[in-house]
Chains A and B, each alone.
Chain A
Amino acid sequence: MRRATAVAVLLSFLILYLTGAAFLWVRRAQIAGLFRLGLDLRGGVRVVLQAEGTPEAPVTDQSLQEAENIIRVRVDRLGVTEPIVQREPELGRIVVELPGVEERHAALDLIGRTGLLEFYDEEGNLIITGRDLVRADAAFQPGTNEPVVTLDLVPEARKKFAEATTRNVGRRIIIMLDGEIISAPVVSVGGIEEPIITGYPSMEEAFRLSVLLNSGILPLNLRVVEDYAVSATLGQDSLEKSKQAVLIGLAAVGLFMLSVYRLPGLMADLALGVYMVLLLGALLAVRATITLHAIAGIVLSVGMAVDANVIIFERIKEELRAGFTIAASLDRGFRRAMRAILDANVTTLIAAAALFRYGTGPVRGFALTLSIGIIASMITAILLTRFLLKFLVGTRLLADAPRYFGVRS
């Protein structure tokens, strides 16, 4: 290799690197905005609902789908941006995530409440159930502008309801959800097929009842098996702390490499910068959700990313001690280190894959970052560090080579 070529290549790399770094630094706020943050970092609510079938209404793909749609409607009415409602058909579950929702505990309560809806008269005779109800809506009554709840009944139930109201004019109809009275309006006129409930102090109250009524129409019984609510303030605090941990971790690993491996250590640190860009880019590409544990995975992978470099550098040192020239040591070192790196990383990937397959939520995010990290680290350590070291040797700046590699001559 001609010395001039080596110097030119290295210099252009450095200029490119620094320009790229400066660009990313200037745009860091916009780039950070591209990542989708998990609930633990931005606050919000997560509920896992388990569908429980009955002999007459077993859990099927279709009933689960219907349940999902109803929950979606309910969630949309809460006015949350970017809600996630996901079905897990193999487990018969529906997962709801509401990032940034303000009234967390009220939201959890609303989503979790799903059950048996029954309408009774004062004597305790069952009039209709949730199965007879198509939907309930909160609205302002035309003319009076009073908040009301309108009920839409299935055709077969309309007659039943009309007869019951005729018998009960002036008396109450008791609406029960899961054995609890949620409303008890007085019947004003008999023979009603399309009931309207009036007398709400506010639209909010009317809306609350309509949501409760709708939840009683679910084709399945849904039970909350897991939920999680975190305030945005705690998420913000966690985010700040993790950012700090990432920076400190990076700095510590970088300094360690520099002090132990000198010049190659510097090359490894440069490669580490490229590694971070690759890793974050890949995470963006797969639309990964960044959670606290995903960040821990990133930091851990930084530590493991230089593993490959350490293995390579130690090999090169061995070859130098054995008396090979620097160029030969470089070649032999890389070639021989390759096998160890490959075997070691494949086994770690196996563990990460098992973790991804059988993990849930945060654990999965961690396994994903770890896997991407391992692959990205192999690419940067094997290709980039090698490239840099090769041209560095080509510049013949390292006449007293072993010393720069941390080997006493």
Chain B
Amino acid sequence: MRVQLMARRKVWFSISGALVLVSLLLLVLRGLNLGVEFTGGSLLDLTFERPVGTREVRRMLEEFGLGGAIIQRDVREPRRVFVRVPPLDGEERKRLMTALQESISPLLSDEVRTVTPIISRELVRNAAIALALASAAMIVYITIRFEYKFALVAIAALLHDVIVTLGLFSFLQVEVGAPFVAALLTIVGYSINDTIVVFDKIRENLRGTRKSVWTVVDESVNQVMMRSINTSATTGLAILAILLFGGKTTREFALALLAGVVAGTYSSIFLASPLWAVWKQREERVGWRRLRRSRRRR
């Protein structure tokens, strides 16, 4: 398998560009389905002893003045419902839980999480700080080990992966919480990891060659293609195991990781390297022109 990386670069850039554009549009128009960890509120995950309908749960909630609750039944388990309401305090929750058990049925299992806006604001702020800090540290590291152009291109690829993942979650309207933030930051680490492996090959092949940047990038990417795909495949397999067998709590987390790994593999092969080559080539041409001009003047 040989990919016409540089010759077809416009195709690759268009795919990435379109994905990013659609993702951004989705994010603006449709937004994300933010969980209680972002909006503040209480989330009740209740499994009763018998199958329940959303209507009887709602009737129960109305008695507590919680008629506006979002109630969802689990797709696979008719006895399980998820309820989202504004933040409940200890007293209210205790009364509600007792009432639910008395009027519907005893609970087999339950999970209740309450987050107030103080905590949700903190989550968003900390995520932003972590992202900025990680990006800055990576730019410094890559600039030292490679050069700043590699660093900036790698960060562009990383933003691409994060935006596409956000876009997918906006499209699917899967609820996102704190683990989603962790998944995004892991994608950041993974995406860079993948990109670096490709850059390493380019760096090596550039040494002492007289070939053009484009040719070197084309060859390098084709040389590392298999290992890029194989490393993503092993990571992807592991994540798939969490997604399919790991239970509901980690499902959203695994889905985000999987999207990030796929986007990350694409961007390190088809986006970061050709982007760098175009930039480098243009710079060299400009350099040559300057050199020629200065010679003519002499």
Contacts and interface: CB of A to CB of B under 8 A. Distances in A.
Interface string A101-124: 000011011111100000000000
A244 to B, nearest CB: 5
Q: How large is the interface on B (under 10, 10 to 19, 20 to 34, 35 or more residues)?
A: 35 or more
Given A112-B89, A234-B45, A310-B234, A348 B190 contact: yes
A311 B114 contact: no
Contact of A310 (B142, B201, B231): B231
B239 interface: yes
A118 to B, nearest CB: 18
A350 interface: yes
B186 A355 contact: yes
Interface stretch (B60-68, B167-175, B176-184): B176-184
Q: How large is the interface on A (under 10, 10 to 19, 20 to 34, 35 or more residues)?
A: 35 or more
Nearest to B42: A227
A352 interface: yes
Contacts of B254: 296
Contacts of A242: 246-247, 250
Interface of B is mostly: helix
Nearest to B198: A340
B289 to A, nearest CB: 33
A367 interface: yes
A249 B186 CA distance: 18
Residue of B116, B119, B182, B231 most packed against chain A (CB within 10 A): B182
Interface string B10-25: 0000000000000000
A110 B89 CA distance: 11
A355 B247 CA distance: 24
Given A105-B93, A105-B94, A360-B126, A226 B115 contact: yes
Given A245-B246, A339-B200, A359-B126, A109 B107 contact: no
A300 interface: yes
Interface of B: 45, 47, 89-91, 93-94, 97-98, 107-116, 118-119, 122-123, 126-127, 129-131, 133-134, 137-138, 141-142, 145, 178-179, 181-182, 185-186, 188-190, 192-194, 196-197, 200-201, 204, 223-224, 226-227, 230-231, 233-242, 244-247, 249-250, 253-254, 257
Which 5 A-B residue pairs are closest in the complex by CB-CB distance? A351-B189, A303-B238, A249-B241, A109-B90, A303-B235
13 contacts: A108-B93, A227-B113, A227-B114, A229-B110, A234-B45, A292-B250, A304-B193, A340-B200, A343-B196, A348-B190, A359-B181, A360-B122, A363-B181
